Every structure is written in structure tokens, then in C-alpha cells.
Chain A
């Protein structure tokens, strides 16, 4: 019982991470892959924030009544990581828009099929 109460946070984060991972490898739609990547990233963040929690701790802001504070370091790391994750999402989405302009679709299998049929024209038009 102690084990279940003590570790369910970690198990939930594993479940979320695997949902995101599955979307990234199994879904053919590129925007779905980005959604999966976002879920994956937030799962990692949840893991870090869970590490920072201390039983009986208050938020890491100076307060004379506080006995114990939560660990501020993982919070700092995750603040940075959230912003970086948005940057990766933005670049990935810009690439998706370019792919759509080039191929007219954002489905992975359709793009691969088009590349098989006419690989010459694609490289020509890029120059």
C-alpha cells in the first residue's frame, strides 16, 4: 500500500509518456505526431516536478511560518524546458507547413508514396 501511494505519480507519468510515444511512432498524421511529442514532453516535466515535492513542504517562496520548502531546483529546470519545448514545437510546425506546400498533404504514407513515384521532380523544383 505504501508502495502504491508512494509511486503512483511515477506510474502515471510513464503512462502519459507512453501515450505520447505511441502517437509519435504509430500515427501517420504529422500534426498528431507533434501532439504526441507535446504529451511526451509534459510527461517528463511532470516527472521532474514530482521529484521536487517534499511531504509537508510549502511553495519555494520565503515565508516565516514555513517549516520545509519544496525543492526549487527542478522547478527552475522545468521553467527552462517548457520554453524550449515550445521552440521545438514552433520549428516542427514550420516544417509541417513547408511539407504541406510541397506535397499538398501532411499524411506520412501519402508523402512517402509521392516521393517514390516522382523523386526527380521534387528535387528539381527545390533548386
Chain B
């Protein structure tokens, strides 16, 4: 029951965040959205993901957004959208959600141990990773050992993004 309440609260937070005219309030709502998301992930036993979201998602993203806001305008100007455009937006969103809902028909039920995602490589990690790597936490073992190159690629992405930001914001002489 608490899970369902949390998920509904997420939807309310997201709706409020995109409807706020004051951008600072919208950013704060996004931060609380991220924190609730971290709680949801703790409830789903994804503890590593939860504290990454709480520190990186809710912390750094909020700081970056506020830093941007301090260099730009705080209020969102209301713009008059033509009726045709809003109808098109609505239709596109409805169509996409209909396709996604159709996709969930084939999905295994929530928490099903026979789900395909739990069949192939995941049991292997759970059974062997302690013997092979000596790490108690399976997520850390997979992240740093089995998929180490993946993590290296992630680091390259962060480096690239950092370089991009520095090059973009550098003062021109």
C-alpha cells in the first residue's frame, strides 16, 4: 500500500514540477521527486541505485539547475500556444502512451521469479560472483569486475561532458 502511495506521490510531484511558473519552485519539486524516487528504489531493494539517485540525481542535478537559474531568468513567461499545436501534442502523447501500454501486455507480472530478465546471466552473477571476485555486494562485483569496461566507458562519458561544459562556458578573449 505504501508503495502505491509513494508512486502516486511521484506522479503528483512530476505534474506539479512541470506546471509551476516559478522555475525555482519547479526545480525544488524536481529535487523532492528525485528523493521520493530514491525511497521507492529502497523499497524495491535497489539500495546502491537509491543512494546514487539521492546524491547524484537529487543533489547534483538540483545544484546544476539552480546554478543555471542564477545566470538566467527565474520566471517562465506564459506563451500562447495555438490550439492546433496543443491538440497535436496531446495526440502524440496519447499515441505514445497507448503503444507503451500495449507493450505491457506481454510483460511478466511484477516480481515474477520466472521472468526472462531473471533467467540467463543474473543467477550466474549471484552464484559465482563471491567466489570469483570476493566482493559481498553483487552490484559492486558486476559494476567493477564483470562490467568494468562499461564503467570505464561511463567515466569517459563524464570526462567528455565535463570538457564540453568547460569549452562551452569558457570566456572568449
- Chain A residue contacts of B121, Cβ below 8 A: 73
For chain A, give the interface size range: 35 or more
Is A117 interfacial (CB 8 A cutoff)? no
Binding site secondary structure of chain B: helix
Contact A25 B139 (CB under 8 A): no
Contact B117 A39 (CB under 8 A): no
Q: What 0/1 pattern do residues 70 to 83 of B give for CB contact below 8 A with A?
A: 01110011010100
Contact A89 B139 (CB under 8 A): no
Q: How far, in whole Å, are A85 and B35 apart by their CA atoms in the complex?
A: 16
- Chain B residue contacts of A61, Cβ below 8 A: 47, 136-139
Contact B14 A78 (CB under 8 A): no
Interface set, chain B 98-137, CB cutoff 8 A to A: 100-101, 104, 107, 109-113, 115, 117-118, 121-122, 125-126, 130, 136-137
Q: How far, in whole Å, are A68 and B113 apart by their CA atoms in the complex?
A: 9
Binding site secondary structure of chain A: helix
Interface set, chain A 44-67, CB cutoff 8 A to B: 45-46, 49-62
- Chain A residue contacts of B32, Cβ below 8 A: none
Contact B52 A17 (CB under 8 A): no
| Sample of 22 A–B contacts (CB below 8 Å) | A9-B110, A10-B104, A11-B104, A31-B68, A52-B46, A55-B113, A57-B45, A58-B45, A60-B137, A61-B47, A70-B44, A73-B142, A79-B143, A82-B49, A83-B157, A84-B154, A89-B65, A95-B168, A97-B68, A97-B71, A97-B169, A105-B77
Q: Give residues in A with beta carbon < 8 Å to B.
A: 2-3, 5-12, 14-23, 25-29, 31-32, 34-36, 38-39, 42, 45-46, 49-62, 68-76, 78-80, 82-91, 93-98, 100, 105-110
